[in-house]
């Protein structure tokens, strides 16, 4: 009987010790994290805004964590290929993703087969920035103001057109929003990427674009900015009014960017990454660089706040996509 009692006691102690180890495993993992290089997946080609933001974060995060952070571009299918591949990675904090409003909010309503669940397959880490769309026309355009352009569009339905990076792209959805908000009919001209669309805009082959990546051309005078789709004017374009200012209400169209981990990543690791990324975004030089890209920087958000934002954006983009009539499969 005494031997049985001892066995029971030692067994209970072992179970308690095991439970204690399990309970403290995430904390121990976060304390030693990262012990090897981290991969930051960018589901778009090099050269775009997502890639640029990802490379800024990778460099700064690597310095702060004293570990290499590698940018891995996995482009294709509107960001779906890289994103679908990402959600199959181990939830250990060593593979992160640059999430965007396109992949994580619009695409769920554009594609029947995503390869991921936008609501369930991600552990939101940190919101990075948003870049508002700018209404742009060629420098030789007869329109000097947004009011002039919209007045002409109302008087001449279907006579003006706008370029985009393709059906369902951020430029397409922003153009659709403008049609609804301003009560006009500006014809959509889809291109195979925003680069060719901007090239034709510069050449005057299309009448206008709503774009997030042409700030440099506007500042250089190659394009004329007529309005910005944000609540406040951009510091880099202080003379370009908001749509609110030109009489078009509720015309807010921005591409947003953030960092996520696979669902199930330990909370301690998510919190550590959130702290480091928010600290990076508070650095004056980083803020200066992002502002020069046309980015709007928000107040730091916790993982829970970023999660709530992402969930709400999925619902908001459902209406935007339905209004546009876009469907890719």
What is the per-residue pLDDT across 201-225, written as a single tens digit (0 to 9) for each? 999 999 999 998 889 999 999 999 9
Kindly indicate the confidence band of residue 329, based on its pLDDT and cuts at 50, 70 and 90.
Answer: low
Distance, in Å, from the CA atom of 323 to the CA atom of 99, rounded to the nearest integer, reads 23
pLDDT bin (cut points 50, 70, 90) of residue 41 is very high
Domains and CATH numbers, the chain: 35-130+255-324 (3.40.190.150), 134-228 (3.40.190.10)
Question: What is the DSSP track for 106-169?
Answer: IHHHH-S--SS-TTTSEEEEEEEEEEE-EEEEETT-S--SHHHHHHHHHHSTTS-EEEESSTTS
Cis peptide, bond prior to residue 34, ω within 30 of zero: yes
**What is the tens place of the pLDDT at every residue in 216-267?**
999 999 999 999 999 999 999 999 999 999 999 999 999 999 999 999 999 9
- Residue 150 contacts by C-beta under 8 Å, 6 or more apart in sequence? 182, 184, 246, 248
pLDDT at 165: 87
Helix (H) / strand (E) containing 26: helix 2-32
pTM (2 decimals)?
A: 0.84
- How do 95-100 and 223-228 pair as beta strands? unpaired
Of the candidates 85, 88, 122, 93, the one whose C-alpha atom is nearest the C-alpha of residue 105 is 122
Q: What are phi and psi of 263, to 5 degrees?
A: -55, 140
> What pLDDT is attached to residue 193?
80
List the 187-190 sheet strands across, edge first: 187-190, 161-164, 208-211, 134-138, 223-228
- For the purposes of burial, counting CB atoms within 10 Å of the CB of 291, is it exposed (0-12), middle (13-18) or buried (19 or more)? middle
Name the more confident of 221 and 326: 221
**63-67, 167-171, 271-275: range with lowest mean pLDDT:** 167-171
- Maximum distance among all Cα pairs of the chain, rounded to whole angstroms: 99
The confidence score (pLDDT) of residue 236 equals: 92
Q: CB–CB of 37/93 below 8 Å?
A: no
pLDDT band for position 11 (cuts 50, 70, 90): low
Q: Is the pLDDT of residue 14 over 80?
A: no
- Would you tell me how many other CB atoms lie within 10 Å of the CB of residue 223? 24
Q: Which of 291, 155, 131, 147 is nearest to 227 (CA)?
A: 147
Q: Is the pLDDT of residue 19 over 60?
A: no
Q: Model confidence at 22, in pLDDT bands (50, 70, 90)?
A: very low
Residue 285 burial by Cβ neighbours in a 10 Å radius (0-12, 13-18, 19+): exposed
């Amino acid at each position: 009987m005494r031997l049985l009692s001892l066995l029971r006691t030692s067994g209970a102690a072992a179970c308690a010790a095991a439970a204690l180890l399990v309970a403290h495993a995430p904390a121990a993992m976060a304390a030693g994290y990262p012990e090897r290089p981290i991969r930051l997946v960018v589901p778009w080609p090099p050269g775009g805004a997502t890639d640029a933001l990802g490379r800024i974060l990778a460099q700064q995060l690597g310095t702060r964590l004293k570990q290499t952070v590698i940018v891995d571009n996995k482009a294709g299918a509107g960001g779906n290929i890289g994103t679908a591949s990402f959600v199959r990675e181990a939830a250990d904090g060593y593979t992160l993703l640059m999430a965007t409003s396109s992949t994580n909010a619009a695409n769920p309503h554009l594609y029947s087969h995503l390869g991921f669940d936008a609501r369930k397959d991600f552990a939101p880490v940190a919101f990075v920035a948003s870049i508002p769309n700018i209404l742009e026309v060629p420098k030789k355009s007869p329109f000097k103001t947004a009011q002039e352009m919209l007045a002409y569009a109302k008087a001449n339905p279907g006579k003006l057109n706008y370029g985009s990076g393709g059906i369902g792209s951020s430029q397409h959805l922003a153009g659709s929003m403008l049609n609804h908000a301003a009560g006009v009919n500006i014809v959509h001209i889809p291109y195979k990427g925003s680069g060719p669309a901007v090239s034709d805009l510069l050449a005057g082959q299309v009448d206008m674009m709503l774009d997030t990546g042409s700030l440099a051309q506007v500042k250089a005078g190659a394009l004329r900015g007529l309005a910005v789709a944000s609540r406040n004017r951009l510091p880099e374009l202080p003379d370009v009014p908001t749509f609110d200012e030109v009489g078009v209400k509720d015309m807010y169209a921005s591409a947003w960017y953030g960092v996520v981990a696979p669902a199930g990543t330990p909370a301690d690791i998510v919190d550590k990454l959130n702290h480091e990324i928010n600290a990076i975004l508070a650095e004056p030089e980083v803020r200066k660089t992002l502002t020069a890209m046309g980015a709007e920087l928000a107040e730091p958000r916790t993982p829970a706040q970023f999660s709530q934002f992402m969930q709400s954006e999925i619902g908001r983009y459902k209406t935007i996509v339905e209004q546009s009539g876009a469907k890719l499969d």
